[in-house]
Amino acid sequence: MATERILITGASGTIGRMLRERLRAPGRTLRLLDQVAPPEGGPGEDVEPMAGSVTDTALLAEACRDVDAVLHLAALPVENTWERILAVNVDGTRALLEAARGAGVPRVVLASSNHAAGFHPATGTDLPAEAAPRPDTYYGFSKAATEALGSLYHSRYGMDVLCLRIGAYGDRPDDERGLSIWLSPEDGGRLFEACLSTPSPGFRVVWGVSANTRRLVSRAEGEAIGYHPRDDAEVFADQVRSFPPGTERDFLGGTFTTAPLGEPM
Ligand code: 15L
């Protein structure tokens, strides 16, 4: 069986650890990059831990060598100062795409976020995945920039690039908003697996949410790449915190829409 090598940046983060477990497969090597090298593989695990930063271009060139696909998760995950957001999330994504291009990596999956579109009203059930960016924070801006960079590298160099507007990821939804935009770990695994296996996707933007009854966003783009989510936040409906009264319930991005800009969360 031919070996496939997948680079995961930000491999020690919440989603990276989930993917390490779920993307394990015969004939597949997971190269795991984070600032501190992730733990070595256990029995039956084919992993290549690497340590370094997404701002280090020489390291990224090394990390992308002989890789079939990159899952780029490394980023500041919430609001931060403008300078830090630009350095890690925007410059880091450009550096990663540039390294992937240089190494001839044919496919890159970029972790975007619902916060790239956080100021879209929380109404309806089918906001398209390519709805115009309406960022709610500098963080949300950086995810819109991530998508735009992905589009640029696809158009210039023909790389397959899939951008995932990930919702509220976790074992269970925390609050009322999560009933609409929760992404479960099992569906997260299904989503990234679909991104790796769908043939010739070109450039795509897809919502990263589960099959939630109260969904606000379109499932069509996910279905088109073979992502068929199975979990529904509704089963937790009587256990979640309700929203306080205020504007936060009016927008997709929830509390991010009122968080002070540029203040680390
Ligand atoms: C995100 O993009 C963040 O990375 C995560 O920490 C959560 O805040 C999530 O969105 C969310 O919207 O709940």
**Domains of the chain, residue spans:** 4-257
Q: Is 137 in the pocket of ligand 1 (CB under 6 A)?
A: no
Q: Is 114 in the pocket of ligand 1 (CB under 6 A)?
A: yes
Closest residue CA from atom 9 of ligand 1: 168
Per-residue pLDDT, 48: 98
Q: How far is the CA of 170 from the centre of ligand 1 (A)?
A: 10
Architecture of domain 4-257: 3-Layer(aba) Sandwich (3.40)
Q: Average the pLDDT over 89-102 and give the result.
A: 98
Answer yes or no: are the C-beta atoms of 88 and 139 closer than 8 Å: no
Contacts of 43 (CB under 8 A, 6+ apart): none
Catalytic residue list contains 153: no
Q: Is 159 in the pocket of ligand 1 (CB under 6 A)?
A: no
pLDDT digits (tens, 9 = 90+) for 103-123: 999 999 999 999 999 999 999
pLDDT digits (tens, 9 = 90+) for 169-185: 999 999 999 999 999 99
Per-residue pLDDT, 156: 98
**E strand or H helix at 199, and its extent?**
none
Q: How far apart are CA 121 and CA 102, in angstroms?
A: 40
